[in-house]
Amino acid sequence: MLKAGIDLVFIPKMQDMLADHTFLQKVFHEGERMPATAEHLAGVYAAKEAFFKAISTDPAWLSIEIKKMPNGEPCLSLAPVFAEQVKKASVSISHDNDYAIAQVILETT
């Protein structure tokens, strides 16, 4: 079965969150926090939120990680609890002015 999730993040709001180190550690893996710009983190946050919408569960932020393939394309690294449910995953992240948007498409078992 195919499932999709999408999320939109207001980058200035993420800028405000950069000072909250508890939030950053609760939501982002160390590798996801680099570069530590509001634009980058808004895109990662949107991708994670889109994943949880697609899989229809409450966020468990550190159970997934947004990584980059050698060509720069984003990809998902999933904890075993989610990896068991997902055959294939595709993630797309885009930024424009004050917004970051991400879409996740999953093929589930």
* Catalytic annotation, residues: 53, 95
pLDDT digits (tens, 9 = 90+) for 82-105: 999 999 999 999 999 999 999 999
Residue 100: the pLDDT is: 98
Tell me the pTM: 0.96
CATH code, domain with 57: 3.90.470.20
Into how many domains does the chain fold?
Answer: 1
Q: Which whole number is the average pLDDT over 43-56? A: 98
Q: Which whole number is the average pLDDT over 54-74? A: 97
Q: Which whole number is the average pLDDT over 6-25? A: 96
Write out the residue range of the structural domain in which residue 62 sits.
2-108
The answer to whether the peptide bond before residue 35 is cis (omega within 30 degrees of 0) is yes
Question: What percent of the chain stands above pLDDT 90?
Answer: 98
Q: Which residues have CB under 8 Å from 84's CB, separation 6+? A: 109
